[in-house]
Amino acid sequence: MTNFFLGLMAGCIIAGVVTITAARHPAVQVRLGLVPPAQAAVVVAPRPETPRCPVPKTANQVGNPEMLFSRSRLWSVAP
C-alpha cells in the first residue's frame, strides 16, 4: 500500500511538472488559446540563426596502421 501511495505521489508530481513546462512553451500556449491571437505573432517569432564556425581541418589521419603500432606511442605509456 505504501509503494502504491508513493508511486501515485511521484506520478502526480511528474505530471504536474510536465504540464507546467508544456504550458510555458510559446507554441503550446498558442494552441491552447492561452495567448490572444494579437500576441501570437510576437510569441512565436523565429530565433535568429547563430553563425556557424568553419570546421577546422585536422592533420591526423584515421585508419593509419602507424596509429596503433607506433613505437613512440607504445614507449610513451607509463608502466
Residue of higher predicted confidence among 14 and 69: 14
pTM score, whole prediction: 0.41
Predicted pLDDT at 35: 76
Contact 27, 44 (CB under 8 A): yes
Mapped onto helix, strand or coil, the DSSP state of residue 17 is: helix
Predicted pLDDT at 13: 97
* HSE of 26, CA atoms in CB hemisphere, 13 A: 10
Contact 64, 72 (CB under 8 A): no
Predicted pLDDT at 14: 96
Instruction: For residue range 3-52, list pLDDT tens digits in order.
Output: 999 999 999 999 999 988 888 887 888 887 877 766 656 655 667 777 77
Euclidean distance between CA atoms 43 and 34, whole angstroms = 11
Residue of higher predicted confidence among 63 and 23: 23
Euclidean distance between CA atoms 40 and 43, whole angstroms = 5
